[in-house]
Structure 1
Amino acid sequence: MKFGWKIFFLCMGIYVISLTITGMVVTENTYKSLLKKDIERSLEEESNLHSTLALYLLNNQRIAQEKIELKNYSKSMVDMVKTDRNYLEIFDEKLNLLATNAPRAWFFSRDELDVALKGQKNFVLKRDKDQLYLFVTNVLEINEEKIVLSLIKDITHVNNHRKEQYLLFIRTGLIGLAFVAIITWGLSTFLLKPFRELSLTTQNIASGNYHVRAKVNRKDEVGLLAEQFNTMADKIEQKINQLEEEGQRQQRFIDNLTHELRTPLTSIIGYAEYLLKAKYNPEIFQKSLNYIYSEGNRMLKVAKTLMNMILVREKPLQLKEVQVMPLLIEVRNIMEVKGEKAGIVLEVVGEDTRILLDRDLLKVAITNLVDNAINASNAGQKITIGVEKIQEKVCIFVADEGKGMEECETKKITEPFYRIDKSRSRKEGGIGLGLAICYQIADEHGAELEIESKIGIGTKIKIKFTKMLQVRSNLDKIPCYNNICKEKI
């Protein structure tokens, strides 16, 4: 059952139960109040009637100047009560009926007469078919002679009033029920509209429309729920986009790796088949073996580089306090020979500082960055290797004046086997793993690898170290990082 129907039937149930209880309580209280008033009125009437009849009998005795028999006056006493709903019965001491003006005889037990004969005034309610009667009984004694008076009142109107009030509650309740049903349905429709919007948004997201959001502008709990739902949808969309990007990167990695392995394998297999079929020719055989050897070495280089990437990720860092400038000068000296061959000047700039890092790994990363910068530069250009501080972060950078790259390329350049100029990279022996290793080394150090590049202007690649990895000479301890505990400097 839908939540809207549950709310509807719940409100209807509450209304019906509340109306029923209220109607019963009000009607029964009214009935008891009317009944109590009728009883009090009847008792008062009986008292007045008792006094009147006593005076009447005493007056007749005074006139007759002799003792009178009460039973002889019973008929005249009954005739004194002539109202439509009031009747009078008179009984002797043996409870024999002497006179009555009641329209009918009563065939049920009359225990109240025995009680009255003992001198106790009492009343009793008795129902006869659809009629309700009140019997008020009392004893009248004159000259040691007793008669029992029974005043009978028809109070059926009290019972009828209760029935009419119940009918009134039922009619009013049915009309109210119709209004409550309409109002409840309208309110439930209005209140549940945001939930239907959320449900529709959920269906759209489930079908793949991750950009859809719930349009609920409210300040209550529903609005807060919608806001949190949209926040959750944003996070889901981000995760989905990340997964898609990661899937694309993995697919590109597989495609590039397949291409890198297929090309040398094709050459190796081709030359091997040729050597198997061709007649022996020392020059051709030597040339073919050289190709097979070079392509095999290229495959081995790919395997070793991939293994190095795995080792970088799995092997714990050997963190030590390192002075940056000597490390940069060492890298310049290593790459200076290749730079001179290409007609490129290598320059080291910046102020020396000390950083906690794995010296060998960082040396590999900077060397790869300088090597890529040389490959991207032309003769007569300059490559700058330097260190600087940016917002209290130590930054090691390599900047060239080469051809640069598009912004979209900077987001992919750190992926394994990705190369902007594939023909040139292959000619120079590159396999597209240099920046991927640099990125991984920086990531293992908790550093950020940033690439700034413009076409025709050049590229600047920065390795930004967090403040946690910086070391000052006046500190006695260094903080833990990558599960390496604090140690004396």
Structure 2
Amino acid sequence: MKLWQKIYLLSLLVFVLIFNGASVMVIERTHNRMLNQTIEVALSQNMSIHSSVDAIVPILRIYDSLDYEKTVLTSMAKQFVAKNSGQGIYLDITDDASRTIFNNADFGMPQARRELENLDNSSIHYILRDVGDRTILFTVNNTQINQKKYVFTYMKDLTPVYQDRIEQYGFFAKVDSAACILFMIVMFFVSRGLTRSIERLNRTSQIIAQGNFSERVKVKSRDEIGILGSSFNEMAEVVEDKINELERNNDEKQRFIDNFTHELKTPLTSIVGYANFLRTTKYNEKLFLDALGVIYDEGKRLEALSLKLMDLIMLKKVQFQMERQEMRALLLEMKPTLEIMAKEKEVNIKLDCQEGRLELERDLIKVLVFNLVDNALKASIAGGTVTLRTYWREAAYVLAVIDQGIGIAEEHLDKIFEPFYMADKARTRNSNGAGLGLALCGSIADIHHAVIRVSSQVQQGTTIEVVFAAEKRGGGPE
């Protein structure tokens, strides 16, 4: 059973129970109040008759005649009945021998009358009886006249009171039917409206389960369901980001494997080919030296590739101990080595550094700088300049490597830190590169909680900034 059906049926059941229960209580309370009021009036009438009889008792004592007593009592009863004619009023008067003095009832008096039990002169007893299809109220009291006891039974037809209750129940049944039908119609739309958002949530979750992670729920309300929809969208967004991240990681791993295989294939092909050539060719000193030179170069290339891969693996597994270091002093220490690297390319090295003490791993920073400068030198032309600049930018310390080389096209900027990725494959291979230098730099920056930012324009140069969040490490300009 669907949720809207459960809400619909449950609300209908609750409405029927509450509405019918409340209506029955109101009808019964009204009926009981009217019944009690009618009984009170009947008891008052009986008391009035009793008072009237008590008023004439002294006169009856003077005459002390049974016939006179019967005549007076009969006359009083007729006057009372005539005065209340048409109101369902009946009166019965009997003497102590149970002989009837007066009775105007149009029904037979019951044989067993419990209301007469323990009846004394100071009390009035009453009882309700069903007589045929009518309900009659019997009220009794007695009076002593000249040593004789007379029993006065005042009777009131209460059938209209009970008929009124039946009519109220009939009217309520019609109102109840109309109210239930109206409530069913209203609750059908209300329950459907309340659960429509949940149905949208369900449909969206099914679509997402099928792989469309960009699907979202349209949130139109600000109630709990609306909040649930917003939370669902946030969850779906996180899931989509995680899935995309996994896909990117998977793609990067696949590219890593493809590129690694490709990088191995070229030198191995050369080594195997020249080795076979040497094995099958008669000795010729010049040819053998050339072939051995190729084998040696390709072997060194494989060695450099394996060392770079080992460095990448080590960076992800080893926990490095940071120490507070002066960056400017470290770069000045490295300058002679950097100038030797640049001399082969006929490129100038320039340092423009501000002092800054940071939590660093000394050897890793050297690897980072050497790789960044090496990349800058590969991109530079003879006579160019590679600048190393350090400076404070607000609370961050920035290490920038700036070249005036060929630059990097915009479509390559977001991929240059992937292992084996080469924006200019021919240039990288000619310089014995494998596309691992910037990947190493990225890992070293992560270890130092630094961010690498790249800006470049083709044929105008490249600037790579390593931004150290020195404020979080207690560093700052000195």
**Bucket of the pairwise TM-score, normalised by the shorter protein:** 0.7 to 0.9
Question: Is the contact made by 2:121 and 2:141 (CA closer than 8 Å) also made in structure 1?
Answer: no
Structure 2 residue aligned with 1:234 = 237
Question: Is the contact made by 2:271 and 2:299 (CA closer than 8 Å) also made in structure 1?
Answer: yes
Root-mean-square deviation (Å):
3.0
Query: TM-score with structure 2 length normalisation?
Result: 0.88
1:100 aligns with 2:103: yes
311, 314, 318: which one pairs with 1:311? 314
Question: Is the contact made by 1:446 and 1:466 (CA closer than 8 Å) also made in structure 2?
Answer: yes
SS at match of 1:309: helix
Structure-2 separation of matches of 1:382 and 1:293? 32
Question: Is the contact made by 1:137 and 1:151 (CA closer than 8 Å) also made in structure 2?
Answer: yes
For 1:83-482, list aligned pairs within 5 A. 83=85, 85-95=88-98, 100-107=103-110, 109-116=112-119, 120-128=123-131, 130-272=133-275, 278=280, 280-281=282-283, 283=285, 287-467=290-470, 468-469=472-473, 471=475
Deviation at 1:296, TM superposition (A): 3.5
Structure 2 residue aligned with 1:4 = 4
Deviation at 1:404, TM superposition (A): 0.6
Deviation at 1:282, TM superposition (A): 5.0
Structure-2 separation of matches of 1:119 and 1:354? 114
SS at match of 1:401: coil
Note the alpha carbon deviations across 1:155-189, whole angstroms, 9 max, x for none.
11111111111222221122112222222233333
Structure-2 separation of matches of 1:76 and 1:234? 100
Task: Indicate the larger mover: 389-398 or 463-472.
Answer: 463-472
Identity of aligned residues (%): 34
SS at match of 1:412: coil
2:28 counterpart letter in structure 1: E
Structure-1 separation of matches of 2:412 and 2:75? 127
Deviation at 1:365, TM superposition (A): 0.9
Structure-2 separation of matches of 1:60 and 1:98? 16
1:458 counterpart letter in structure 2: G
SS at match of 1:146: strand
1:48 aligns with 2:48: yes
Structure-2 separation of matches of 1:282 and 1:68? 173
Unaligned runs of 5+ in 2: none
Note the alpha carbon deviations across 1:294-346, whole angstroms, 9 max, x for none.
43433332222111122223333243333333432343322323422322222
Structure-2 separation of matches of 1:70 and 1:138? 21
Structure-1 separation of matches of 2:302 and 2:295? 11
Structure-1 separation of matches of 2:205 and 2:27? 52
Structure-1 separation of matches of 2:117 and 2:327? 124
1:400–1:16 CA distance, 2 compared to 1 (3 A): same
Structure-1 separation of matches of 2:161 and 2:300? 115
Deviation at 1:402, TM superposition (A): 0.7
Question: Is the contact made by 2:354 and 2:392 (CA closer than 8 Å) also made in structure 1?
Answer: no
Note the alpha carbon deviations across 1:70-116, whole angstroms, 9 max, x for none.
88557767655364522233333244556533233244631212333
Structure 1 residue aligned with 2:65 = 67
Structure-2 separation of matches of 1:473 and 1:101? 121
Task: Indicate the larger mover: 147-156 or 4-13.
Answer: 4-13
Structure-1 separation of matches of 2:124 and 2:321? 113
Structure 2 residue aligned with 1:13 = 13
1:155–1:363 CA distance, 2 compared to 1 (3 A): same
Structure-1 separation of matches of 2:303 and 2:185? 80
SS at match of 1:115: coil
SS at match of 1:116: coil
1:7 counterpart letter in structure 2: I
Structure-2 separation of matches of 1:37 and 1:470? 91
Question: Is the contact made by 2:392 and 2:477 (CA closer than 8 Å) also made in structure 1?
Answer: no
Q: When the two structures are aligned, how many residues end up with a matched partner?
A: 471
1:95–1:266 CA distance, 2 compared to 1 (3 A): farther
Structure-1 separation of matches of 2:394 and 2:74? 123
2:439 counterpart letter in structure 1: A
1:473–1:66 CA distance, 2 compared to 1 (3 A): closer
Structure-1 separation of matches of 2:140 and 2:426? 127
1:451–1:129 CA distance, 2 compared to 1 (3 A): farther
1:449–1:126 CA distance, 2 compared to 1 (3 A): same
Query: TM-score with structure 1 length normalisation?
Result: 0.86
2:464 counterpart letter in structure 1: I
Structure-2 separation of matches of 1:353 and 1:59? 133
Task: Indicate the larger mover: 307-316 or 149-158.
Answer: 307-316
1:45 counterpart letter in structure 2: Q
Structure-2 separation of matches of 1:230 and 1:435? 37
Deviation at 1:406, TM superposition (A): 1.9
Structure-2 separation of matches of 1:25 and 1:87? 32
SS at match of 2:119: helix
Question: Is the contact made by 2:61 and 2:145 (CA closer than 8 Å) also made in structure 1?
Answer: no
SS at match of 2:90: strand
Deviation at 1:275, TM superposition (A): 5.5
2:388 counterpart letter in structure 1: I
SS at match of 2:408: coil
Structure 1 residue aligned with 2:28 = 28
Unaligned runs of 5+ in 1: 475-489
Deviation at 1:61, TM superposition (A): 7.7
